[in-house]
Structure 1
Protein backbone atom coordinates (compact mmCIF):
# COMPACT_ATOMS: atom_id res chain seq x y z
CA UNK A 1 0.00 0.00 0.00
CA UNK A 2 1.00 3.58 -0.66
CA UNK A 3 0.75 5.47 2.64
CA UNK A 4 -0.11 8.82 1.06
CA UNK A 5 -3.04 7.91 -1.23
CA UNK A 6 -3.79 4.33 -0.01
CA UNK A 7 -3.26 2.89 -3.48
CA UNK A 8 -2.69 -0.85 -3.83
CA UNK A 9 0.83 -1.38 -5.15
CA UNK A 10 1.10 -5.18 -4.90
CA UNK A 11 -1.36 -8.06 -4.61
CA UNK A 12 -0.99 -11.81 -5.12
CA UNK A 13 -2.77 -15.04 -4.21
CA UNK A 14 -1.04 -17.94 -2.46
CA UNK A 15 -2.16 -21.46 -1.58
CA UNK A 16 -4.23 -21.47 1.61
CA UNK A 17 -2.35 -24.42 3.12
CA UNK A 18 0.78 -22.28 3.56
CA UNK A 19 1.47 -19.89 6.41
CA UNK A 20 1.80 -16.15 5.92
CA UNK A 21 5.41 -16.17 7.10
CA UNK A 22 6.30 -18.65 4.34
CA UNK A 23 5.24 -16.13 1.68
CA UNK A 24 7.19 -13.12 2.99
CA UNK A 25 10.47 -13.81 1.09
CA UNK A 26 8.65 -14.00 -2.25
CA UNK A 27 6.72 -10.79 -1.53
CA UNK A 28 9.86 -8.93 -0.45
CA UNK A 29 11.93 -10.02 -3.45
CA UNK A 30 9.21 -9.02 -5.90
CA UNK A 31 8.45 -5.64 -4.33
CA UNK A 32 12.10 -4.74 -3.70
CA UNK A 33 12.98 -5.53 -7.32
CA UNK A 34 10.15 -3.32 -8.55
CA UNK A 35 11.17 -0.44 -6.29
CA UNK A 36 14.79 -0.66 -7.38
CA UNK A 37 13.70 -0.30 -11.02
CA UNK A 38 11.87 2.89 -10.06
CA UNK A 39 14.91 4.24 -8.21
CA UNK A 40 13.20 3.96 -4.81
CA UNK A 41 14.97 2.89 -1.62
CA UNK A 42 13.16 0.52 0.75
CA UNK A 43 14.32 0.65 4.37
CA UNK A 44 11.56 -0.63 6.70
CA UNK A 45 9.34 -3.69 6.45
CA UNK A 46 6.13 -3.50 8.51
CA UNK A 47 3.82 -6.51 8.80
CA UNK A 48 1.52 -8.22 11.31
CA UNK A 49 2.44 -11.11 13.60
CA UNK A 50 1.46 -13.71 11.00
CA UNK A 51 4.69 -12.92 9.13
CA UNK A 52 6.89 -13.41 12.19
CA UNK A 53 9.70 -15.97 12.21
CA UNK A 54 13.40 -15.97 12.95
CA UNK A 55 14.12 -16.99 9.39
CA UNK A 56 12.22 -13.95 8.10
CA UNK A 57 14.01 -11.57 10.46
CA UNK A 58 17.36 -12.89 9.26
CA UNK A 59 16.25 -12.78 5.61
CA UNK A 60 15.21 -9.12 5.89
CA UNK A 61 18.47 -8.15 7.58
CA UNK A 62 20.44 -9.84 4.79
CA UNK A 63 18.58 -7.66 2.27
CA UNK A 64 19.26 -4.49 4.24
CA UNK A 65 15.71 -4.11 5.57
CA UNK A 66 14.65 -3.31 9.12
CA UNK A 67 11.77 -5.47 10.31
CA UNK A 68 8.92 -4.14 12.42
CA UNK A 69 7.03 -7.42 12.83
CA UNK A 70 5.66 -8.30 16.29
CA UNK A 71 6.78 -11.82 17.34
CA UNK A 72 4.37 -14.59 18.25
CA UNK A 73 3.39 -14.78 21.90
CA UNK A 74 5.07 -18.19 22.06
CA UNK A 75 8.54 -16.70 21.57
CA UNK A 76 10.83 -17.05 24.59
CA UNK A 77 14.47 -16.07 24.67
CA UNK A 78 15.17 -18.91 27.10
CA UNK A 79 13.70 -20.64 30.20
CA UNK A 80 12.14 -18.48 32.90
CA UNK A 81 14.71 -17.31 35.40
CA UNK A 82 17.68 -18.02 33.10
CA UNK A 83 19.93 -15.21 31.88
CA UNK A 84 21.66 -15.32 28.50
CA UNK A 85 25.36 -14.42 28.18
CA UNK A 86 26.04 -13.47 24.57
CA UNK A 87 29.80 -13.19 24.93
CA UNK A 88 30.20 -16.83 25.95
CA UNK A 89 26.97 -18.13 24.37
CA UNK A 90 25.64 -19.76 27.50
CA UNK A 91 22.81 -19.33 29.98
CA UNK A 92 23.08 -18.79 33.71
CA UNK A 93 20.51 -20.70 35.76
CA UNK A 94 18.85 -19.16 38.86
CA UNK A 95 21.69 -20.67 40.96
CA UNK A 96 24.38 -19.00 38.81
CA UNK A 97 25.53 -22.19 37.05
CA UNK A 98 26.49 -21.98 33.36
CA UNK A 99 24.43 -24.01 30.85
CA UNK A 100 26.65 -24.13 27.74
CA UNK A 101 25.71 -24.37 24.07
CA UNK A 102 26.04 -27.92 22.69
CA UNK A 103 24.73 -28.14 19.12
CA UNK A 104 22.55 -26.76 16.31
CA UNK A 105 19.71 -28.96 15.04
CA UNK A 106 16.51 -28.85 12.97
CA UNK A 107 13.32 -29.34 14.95
CA UNK A 108 11.50 -32.20 13.20
CA UNK A 109 8.11 -30.91 14.39
CA UNK A 110 8.38 -27.37 13.06
CA UNK A 111 11.27 -27.63 10.59
CA UNK A 112 12.98 -24.64 12.22
CA UNK A 113 16.63 -24.34 13.18
CA UNK A 114 17.38 -24.36 16.91
CA UNK A 115 20.27 -24.33 19.36
CA UNK A 116 20.55 -26.81 22.22
CA UNK A 117 21.98 -25.95 25.63
CA UNK A 118 22.80 -28.67 28.17
CA UNK A 119 24.42 -28.71 31.61
CA UNK A 120 26.80 -31.46 32.73
CA UNK A 121 25.26 -33.98 35.08
CA UNK A 122 27.41 -33.00 38.08
CA UNK A 123 26.28 -29.35 37.80
CA UNK A 124 22.73 -30.29 38.83
CA UNK A 125 23.55 -33.07 41.34
CA UNK A 126 23.48 -31.03 44.53
CA UNK A 127 21.32 -28.14 43.31
CA UNK A 128 18.74 -27.04 45.96
CA UNK A 129 16.07 -26.48 43.29
CA UNK A 130 16.88 -29.64 41.32
CA UNK A 131 13.47 -31.30 41.65
CA UNK A 132 11.59 -28.14 40.70
CA UNK A 133 13.90 -27.32 37.79
CA UNK A 134 14.42 -30.80 36.29
CA UNK A 135 11.30 -32.69 37.23
CA UNK A 136 11.30 -36.35 38.23
CA UNK A 137 13.22 -38.16 35.48
CA UNK A 138 15.79 -35.72 34.01
CA UNK A 139 19.40 -35.94 35.20
CA UNK A 140 20.63 -32.60 33.85
CA UNK A 141 19.16 -29.37 32.55
CA UNK A 142 18.61 -29.37 28.78
CA UNK A 143 16.60 -26.99 26.62
CA UNK A 144 16.54 -25.46 23.15
CA UNK A 145 15.95 -21.95 21.83
CA UNK A 146 15.58 -20.54 18.34
CA UNK A 147 18.76 -20.26 16.29
CA UNK A 148 17.74 -16.69 15.45
CA UNK A 149 17.59 -15.36 19.00
CA UNK A 150 19.68 -12.26 18.19
CA UNK A 151 17.49 -11.40 15.18
CA UNK A 152 14.39 -11.79 17.37
CA UNK A 153 15.80 -9.47 20.03
CA UNK A 154 16.80 -6.79 17.53
CA UNK A 155 13.35 -6.93 15.94
CA UNK A 156 11.58 -6.74 19.32
CA UNK A 157 13.65 -3.69 20.27
CA UNK A 158 12.55 -1.96 17.05
CA UNK A 159 8.89 -2.94 17.52
CA UNK A 160 8.85 -1.54 21.08
CA UNK A 161 10.66 1.69 20.13
CA UNK A 162 8.81 4.98 19.41
CA UNK A 163 9.39 4.39 15.71
CA UNK A 164 7.92 0.90 16.04
CA UNK A 165 4.77 2.23 17.68
CA UNK A 166 4.48 4.82 14.93
CA UNK A 167 4.90 2.09 12.28
CA UNK A 168 2.17 -0.02 13.91
CA UNK A 169 -0.27 2.89 13.86
CA UNK A 170 0.64 3.70 10.26
CA UNK A 171 -0.04 0.12 9.17
CA UNK A 172 -3.37 -0.01 11.00
CA UNK A 173 -4.53 3.19 9.33
CA UNK A 174 -3.22 2.26 5.87
CA UNK A 175 -3.51 -1.46 5.18
CA UNK A 176 -6.36 -2.59 7.43
CA UNK A 177 -9.04 -0.28 5.95
CA UNK A 178 -8.14 -1.35 2.40
CA UNK A 179 -8.18 -5.02 3.38
CA UNK A 180 -11.62 -4.50 4.93
CA UNK A 181 -12.91 -2.79 1.79
CA UNK A 182 -11.71 -5.63 -0.45
CA UNK A 183 -13.19 -8.37 1.72
CA UNK A 184 -16.42 -6.69 2.86
CA UNK A 185 -17.45 -4.67 -0.19
CA UNK A 186 -15.57 -6.09 -3.21
CA UNK A 187 -16.21 -9.82 -2.83
CA UNK A 188 -12.75 -11.02 -1.79
CA UNK A 189 -13.89 -12.92 1.31
CA UNK A 190 -13.83 -15.97 -0.93
CA UNK A 191 -12.49 -16.53 -4.45
CA UNK A 192 -14.56 -19.04 -6.45
CA UNK A 193 -11.96 -20.00 -9.02
CA UNK A 194 -9.72 -23.00 -9.66
CA UNK A 195 -5.95 -22.54 -9.56
CA UNK A 196 -3.64 -19.70 -8.60
CA UNK A 197 -3.64 -18.17 -12.09
CA UNK A 198 -7.41 -17.62 -12.02
CA UNK A 199 -7.34 -16.47 -8.39
CA UNK A 200 -4.72 -13.87 -9.25
CA UNK A 201 -6.87 -12.55 -12.09
CA UNK A 202 -9.71 -11.97 -9.63
CA UNK A 203 -7.39 -10.24 -7.16
CA UNK A 204 -5.79 -8.06 -9.82
CA UNK A 205 -9.17 -6.98 -11.15
CA UNK A 206 -10.31 -6.11 -7.63
CA UNK A 207 -7.17 -4.05 -7.10
CA UNK A 208 -7.72 -2.33 -10.45
CA UNK A 209 -11.29 -1.44 -9.49
CA UNK A 210 -10.18 -0.15 -6.09
CA UNK A 211 -7.35 1.94 -7.56
CA UNK A 212 -9.63 3.24 -10.29
CA UNK A 213 -11.98 4.65 -7.65
CA UNK A 214 -9.01 6.26 -5.95
CA UNK A 215 -7.83 7.74 -9.24
CA UNK A 216 -11.22 9.15 -10.15
CA UNK A 217 -11.59 10.72 -6.71
CA UNK A 218 -8.13 12.26 -7.06
CA UNK A 219 -8.79 13.34 -10.65
CA UNK A 220 -11.87 15.30 -9.62
CA UNK A 221 -9.65 17.66 -7.67
CA UNK A 222 -7.56 18.45 -10.72
CA UNK A 223 -8.35 20.69 -13.65
CA UNK A 224 -10.45 18.83 -16.23
CA UNK A 225 -8.42 17.72 -19.23
CA UNK A 226 -8.20 14.77 -21.54
CA UNK A 227 -4.60 13.99 -20.61
CA UNK A 228 -5.47 12.25 -17.33
CA UNK A 229 -8.12 10.06 -18.93
CA UNK A 230 -5.84 9.10 -21.76
CA UNK A 231 -3.07 8.09 -19.37
CA UNK A 232 -5.56 6.12 -17.28
CA UNK A 233 -6.91 4.28 -20.30
CA UNK A 234 -3.40 3.41 -21.46
CA UNK A 235 -2.47 2.09 -18.00
CA UNK A 236 -5.50 -0.16 -17.71
CA UNK A 237 -5.05 -1.50 -21.24
CA UNK A 238 -1.52 -2.58 -20.28
CA UNK A 239 -2.68 -4.25 -17.07
CA UNK A 240 -5.57 -6.13 -18.65
CA UNK A 241 -3.44 -7.28 -21.56
CA UNK A 242 -0.96 -8.64 -19.03
CA UNK A 243 -3.75 -10.53 -17.24
CA UNK A 244 -5.78 -11.80 -20.18
CA UNK A 245 -3.47 -11.64 -23.16
CA UNK A 246 -3.40 -9.41 -26.27
CA UNK A 247 -6.74 -10.69 -27.62
CA UNK A 248 -8.66 -8.48 -25.22
CA UNK A 249 -6.95 -5.33 -26.43
CA UNK A 250 -9.46 -4.11 -29.07
CA UNK A 251 -12.41 -4.52 -26.67
CA UNK A 252 -10.96 -2.93 -23.54
CA UNK A 253 -12.48 0.53 -23.98
CA UNK A 254 -15.91 -1.02 -24.56
CA UNK A 255 -15.85 -2.64 -21.10
CA UNK A 256 -13.97 -0.07 -19.03
CA UNK A 257 -15.16 3.26 -20.38
Structure 2
Protein backbone atom coordinates (compact mmCIF):
# COMPACT_ATOMS: atom_id res chain seq x y z
CA UNK A 1 0.00 0.00 0.00
CA UNK A 2 1.43 3.35 -1.04
CA UNK A 3 -1.38 5.66 0.09
CA UNK A 4 -4.32 5.74 2.46
CA UNK A 5 -6.63 8.55 3.51
CA UNK A 6 -9.85 9.22 5.39
CA UNK A 7 -12.56 11.52 4.03
CA UNK A 8 -15.81 12.89 5.36
CA UNK A 9 -18.98 10.92 4.69
CA UNK A 10 -20.60 13.75 2.73
CA UNK A 11 -17.93 13.39 0.02
CA UNK A 12 -18.58 11.05 -2.87
CA UNK A 13 -15.90 8.52 -3.77
CA UNK A 14 -15.57 10.17 -7.18
CA UNK A 15 -14.76 13.49 -5.48
CA UNK A 16 -11.93 11.86 -3.50
CA UNK A 17 -10.21 10.36 -6.54
CA UNK A 18 -8.17 13.45 -7.64
CA UNK A 19 -6.47 13.70 -4.24
CA UNK A 20 -5.85 9.95 -4.10
CA UNK A 21 -4.34 10.08 -7.59
CA UNK A 22 -2.05 13.00 -6.77
CA UNK A 23 -0.75 11.48 -3.51
CA UNK A 24 -0.20 8.08 -5.12
CA UNK A 25 1.73 9.55 -8.06
CA UNK A 26 4.01 11.50 -5.71
CA UNK A 27 4.82 8.43 -3.61
CA UNK A 28 5.43 6.24 -6.64
CA UNK A 29 7.78 8.85 -8.09
CA UNK A 30 9.93 8.54 -4.96
CA UNK A 31 10.61 4.93 -6.02
CA UNK A 32 11.08 5.98 -9.67
CA UNK A 33 7.82 4.26 -10.61
CA UNK A 34 5.13 5.55 -12.92
CA UNK A 35 1.36 5.15 -13.12
CA UNK A 36 -0.06 3.90 -16.42
CA UNK A 37 -3.46 2.46 -15.45
CA UNK A 38 -5.99 2.97 -12.68
CA UNK A 39 -8.53 0.41 -11.46
CA UNK A 40 -11.50 1.31 -9.28
CA UNK A 41 -15.14 0.39 -8.76
CA UNK A 42 -18.11 2.24 -10.20
CA UNK A 43 -18.38 4.63 -7.24
CA UNK A 44 -15.33 6.52 -8.59
CA UNK A 45 -16.95 7.06 -11.99
CA UNK A 46 -17.45 10.64 -13.17
CA UNK A 47 -16.82 12.58 -16.34
CA UNK A 48 -14.39 14.86 -14.54
CA UNK A 49 -12.30 11.86 -13.43
CA UNK A 50 -12.27 10.37 -16.92
CA UNK A 51 -11.11 13.70 -18.35
CA UNK A 52 -8.43 14.10 -15.66
CA UNK A 53 -7.02 10.62 -16.26
CA UNK A 54 -6.96 11.14 -20.03
CA UNK A 55 -5.11 14.42 -19.52
CA UNK A 56 -2.50 12.60 -17.42
CA UNK A 57 -2.33 9.80 -20.04
CA UNK A 58 -3.53 7.18 -17.54
CA UNK A 59 -5.84 4.41 -18.73
CA UNK A 60 -8.97 4.37 -16.58
CA UNK A 61 -10.64 1.03 -15.89
CA UNK A 62 -13.57 2.41 -13.90
CA UNK A 63 -17.03 0.96 -14.64
CA UNK A 64 -19.59 3.48 -15.87
CA UNK A 65 -22.43 3.91 -13.36
CA UNK A 66 -25.96 3.00 -14.29
CA UNK A 67 -27.25 6.58 -14.41
CA UNK A 68 -25.36 7.28 -17.64
CA UNK A 69 -27.67 6.81 -20.63
CA UNK A 70 -25.63 8.34 -23.43
CA UNK A 71 -28.58 10.10 -25.04
CA UNK A 72 -32.39 10.19 -25.32
CA UNK A 73 -34.08 7.06 -26.57
CA UNK A 74 -34.84 7.12 -30.28
CA UNK A 75 -32.59 10.15 -30.97
CA UNK A 76 -29.36 10.01 -33.00
CA UNK A 77 -26.43 12.37 -32.58
CA UNK A 78 -24.94 14.36 -35.46
CA UNK A 79 -21.37 15.16 -34.46
CA UNK A 80 -20.69 17.58 -37.33
CA UNK A 81 -23.64 19.84 -36.54
CA UNK A 82 -23.60 19.05 -32.79
CA UNK A 83 -27.30 18.28 -32.61
CA UNK A 84 -29.69 15.45 -31.78
CA UNK A 85 -32.12 14.26 -34.44
CA UNK A 86 -35.52 12.92 -33.34
CA UNK A 87 -37.36 10.01 -35.02
CA UNK A 88 -39.33 12.57 -37.06
CA UNK A 89 -36.15 14.17 -38.43
CA UNK A 90 -36.30 17.37 -36.32
CA UNK A 91 -33.12 18.74 -34.78
CA UNK A 92 -32.44 19.59 -31.14
CA UNK A 93 -29.58 22.10 -31.36
CA UNK A 94 -27.04 23.04 -28.71
CA UNK A 95 -27.92 26.12 -26.64
CA UNK A 96 -25.82 26.36 -23.45
CA UNK A 97 -23.73 24.65 -20.76
CA UNK A 98 -25.15 24.49 -17.24
CA UNK A 99 -24.64 22.88 -13.84
CA UNK A 100 -27.00 20.11 -12.80
CA UNK A 101 -28.43 19.59 -9.32
CA UNK A 102 -25.55 17.18 -8.65
CA UNK A 103 -23.06 19.92 -9.59
CA UNK A 104 -21.97 18.26 -12.83
CA UNK A 105 -21.54 20.01 -16.18
CA UNK A 106 -24.19 19.39 -18.80
CA UNK A 107 -24.83 20.47 -22.39
CA UNK A 108 -28.43 21.50 -23.15
CA UNK A 109 -30.11 20.93 -26.50
CA UNK A 110 -33.53 22.30 -27.53
CA UNK A 111 -35.91 21.91 -30.40
CA UNK A 112 -38.17 24.77 -31.50
CA UNK A 113 -41.88 24.96 -30.73
CA UNK A 114 -42.71 24.94 -34.42
CA UNK A 115 -40.83 21.66 -34.86
CA UNK A 116 -42.82 19.92 -32.12
CA UNK A 117 -46.19 21.46 -32.99
CA UNK A 118 -48.41 18.88 -34.63
CA UNK A 119 -45.91 16.04 -34.14
CA UNK A 120 -47.63 12.63 -33.69
CA UNK A 121 -45.12 11.73 -30.95
CA UNK A 122 -45.60 14.96 -29.01
CA UNK A 123 -47.58 13.47 -26.10
CA UNK A 124 -45.07 10.66 -25.43
CA UNK A 125 -41.99 12.74 -26.15
CA UNK A 126 -42.79 16.04 -24.42
CA UNK A 127 -45.58 15.34 -22.00
CA UNK A 128 -48.41 17.75 -21.23
CA UNK A 129 -46.54 20.83 -19.94
CA UNK A 130 -43.53 21.11 -22.25
CA UNK A 131 -43.79 22.96 -25.53
CA UNK A 132 -40.39 21.93 -26.89
CA UNK A 133 -37.96 19.07 -26.38
CA UNK A 134 -35.13 19.67 -23.92
CA UNK A 135 -32.15 17.29 -23.81
CA UNK A 136 -29.51 17.37 -21.06
CA UNK A 137 -26.30 15.52 -21.93
CA UNK A 138 -23.21 15.27 -19.80
CA UNK A 139 -20.40 17.60 -20.86
CA UNK A 140 -18.00 14.62 -20.83
CA UNK A 141 -19.97 12.41 -23.20
CA UNK A 142 -16.93 11.60 -25.36
CA UNK A 143 -14.91 10.59 -22.30
CA UNK A 144 -17.74 8.29 -21.21
CA UNK A 145 -17.95 6.68 -24.65
CA UNK A 146 -14.20 6.04 -24.73
CA UNK A 147 -14.37 4.54 -21.23
CA UNK A 148 -17.19 2.20 -22.29
CA UNK A 149 -15.20 1.10 -25.32
CA UNK A 150 -12.11 0.50 -23.16
CA UNK A 151 -14.06 -1.53 -20.62
CA UNK A 152 -15.30 -3.84 -23.37
CA UNK A 153 -11.76 -4.97 -24.20
CA UNK A 154 -10.04 -8.19 -23.20
CA UNK A 155 -7.48 -6.29 -21.14
CA UNK A 156 -10.26 -4.64 -19.12
CA UNK A 157 -11.73 -8.01 -18.21
CA UNK A 158 -8.28 -9.19 -17.12
CA UNK A 159 -7.79 -6.03 -15.05
CA UNK A 160 -11.14 -6.56 -13.35
CA UNK A 161 -10.08 -10.04 -12.26
CA UNK A 162 -6.76 -8.61 -11.08
CA UNK A 163 -8.56 -6.04 -8.96
CA UNK A 164 -10.78 -8.70 -7.41
CA UNK A 165 -7.82 -10.93 -6.53
CA UNK A 166 -5.33 -8.24 -5.47
CA UNK A 167 -7.16 -5.19 -4.15
CA UNK A 168 -10.34 -6.56 -2.60
CA UNK A 169 -8.53 -8.97 -0.21
CA UNK A 170 -6.63 -5.99 1.20
CA UNK A 171 -9.90 -4.36 2.27
CA UNK A 172 -11.02 -7.60 3.88
CA UNK A 173 -7.77 -7.88 5.83
CA UNK A 174 -7.91 -4.27 7.01
CA UNK A 175 -11.54 -4.55 8.11
CA UNK A 176 -11.42 -7.99 9.76
CA UNK A 177 -7.90 -8.10 11.21
CA UNK A 178 -6.52 -4.54 11.34
CA UNK A 179 -9.29 -2.84 13.32
CA UNK A 180 -10.84 -0.81 10.50
CA UNK A 181 -14.35 -2.24 10.80
CA UNK A 182 -15.21 0.94 12.70
CA UNK A 183 -13.30 4.17 13.37
CA UNK A 184 -13.74 5.10 17.03
CA UNK A 185 -11.95 8.42 16.70
CA UNK A 186 -13.00 12.06 16.63
CA UNK A 187 -11.98 14.27 13.78
CA UNK A 188 -10.75 13.58 10.29
CA UNK A 189 -7.08 13.83 11.31
CA UNK A 190 -7.43 11.14 13.98
CA UNK A 191 -9.25 8.88 11.52
CA UNK A 192 -6.51 9.46 8.99
CA UNK A 193 -3.86 8.49 11.57
CA UNK A 194 -5.67 5.25 12.41
CA UNK A 195 -5.88 4.26 8.76
CA UNK A 196 -2.21 5.10 8.30
CA UNK A 197 -1.22 2.88 11.25
CA UNK A 198 -3.30 0.01 9.87
CA UNK A 199 -1.65 0.41 6.46
CA UNK A 200 1.82 0.42 8.04
CA UNK A 201 1.01 -2.77 9.96
CA UNK A 202 -0.25 -4.40 6.76
CA UNK A 203 2.88 -3.43 4.81
CA UNK A 204 5.15 -4.63 7.64
CA UNK A 205 3.43 -8.01 7.69
CA UNK A 206 3.80 -8.35 3.92
CA UNK A 207 7.49 -7.40 4.12
CA UNK A 208 8.23 -9.94 6.86
CA UNK A 209 6.51 -12.74 4.93
CA UNK A 210 8.35 -11.79 1.76
CA UNK A 211 11.78 -11.85 3.45
CA UNK A 212 11.02 -15.16 5.19
CA UNK A 213 10.00 -16.83 1.95
CA UNK A 214 13.10 -15.62 0.14
CA UNK A 215 15.43 -16.96 2.84
CA UNK A 216 13.76 -20.39 2.88
CA UNK A 217 13.81 -20.65 -0.90
CA UNK A 218 17.54 -19.80 -1.04
CA UNK A 219 18.32 -22.62 1.40
CA UNK A 220 16.42 -25.14 -0.73
CA UNK A 221 18.35 -24.31 -3.90
CA UNK A 222 21.85 -24.45 -2.34
CA UNK A 223 24.16 -26.59 -4.58
CA UNK A 224 25.19 -30.02 -3.28
CA UNK A 225 28.89 -29.42 -4.03
CA UNK A 226 28.92 -26.38 -1.75
CA UNK A 227 27.38 -28.39 1.09
CA UNK A 228 30.02 -31.12 0.69
CA UNK A 229 32.83 -28.55 0.71
CA UNK A 230 31.61 -27.02 3.94
CA UNK A 231 31.29 -30.44 5.55
CA UNK A 232 34.87 -31.34 4.50
CA UNK A 233 36.16 -28.12 6.02
CA UNK A 234 34.35 -28.97 9.24
CA UNK A 235 36.00 -32.43 9.29
CA UNK A 236 39.45 -30.93 8.73
CA UNK A 237 39.04 -28.73 11.75
CA UNK A 238 38.16 -31.80 13.81
CA UNK A 239 41.22 -33.61 12.45
CA UNK A 240 38.99 -36.33 11.02
CA UNK A 241 39.44 -35.54 7.34
CA UNK A 242 41.76 -38.47 6.72
CA UNK A 243 39.21 -41.05 7.85
CA UNK A 244 36.32 -39.71 5.75
CA UNK A 245 38.26 -38.28 2.76
CA UNK A 246 37.81 -41.36 0.61
CA UNK A 247 34.02 -41.36 0.97
CA UNK A 248 33.38 -37.61 0.67
CA UNK A 249 36.28 -36.04 -1.18
TM over 0.5: yes
With a CA cutoff of 8 Å and minimum separation of 6, indicate the structure with the bigger relative contact order.
1
Give the structure-2-normalised TM-score.
0.83
Q: 1:253 is matched with which residue?
A: none
- Does the 8 Å CA contact 2:2/2:28 hold for their aligned counterparts? no
Structure possessing the higher radius of gyration over alpha carbons: 2
Residue of structure 2 aligned with 1:60, choices 53, 58, 63: 53
1:26 alignment counterpart? 19
Output one character per residue of 1:179-199: Cα deviation in whole Å (capped at 9) or x when no partner.
011112221011111122221
Alignment partner for residue 84 of structure 2, among 91, 96, 106?
91
Aligned position for 1:227: none
Indicate which of 68, 91, 102 corresponds to 1:110: 102
Runs (4+) of structure 1 exceeding 3 A deviation are none
Q: Secondary structure at the match of 2:132?
A: coil
Q: Which residue of 2 aligns with 1:158?
A: 150
* SS of equivalent residue, structure 1 residue 11: coil
Would you say 1:40 and 2:33 are equivalent positions?
Answer: yes
Aligned-pair CA distance for 1:102: 0.8
Instruction: Return the alpha-carbon distance in structure 2 between the equivalents of residues 100 and 221 of structure 1.
Output: 65
Q: Matches of 1:34 and 1:218 in 2, distance apart? A: 21
Secondary structure of 2:92's counterpart equals strand
Unmatched segments (≥5 aa) in structure 1? 1-7, 225-257
How many pairs align? 216
Distance in 2, matches of 1:199 and 1:60, equals 28
| CA–CA distance in structure 2, aligned partners of residues 202 and 59 of structure 1 | 30
Verify the 8 A CA contact 2:14 2:49 in the aligned structure 1.
yes
Return the offset for 1:94. Answer: 1.6
Does residue 168 (structure 1) correspond to residue 138 (structure 2)? The answer is no
Relative to structure 2, which stretch is displaced further, 145-154 or 191-200? 191-200
Distance in 1, Cα, partners of 2:105 & 2:197: 39
For residues 221 and 35 of structure 1, what CA distance do their matches in structure 2 show?
A: 25
List aligned pairs for 1:131-142, cutoff 5 A.
Answer: 131-142=123-134
1:52 deviation in Å?
Answer: 0.6
Unaligned runs of 5+ in 2: 217-249
Query: Any idea what SS the aligned residue of 2:215 has?
Result: coil
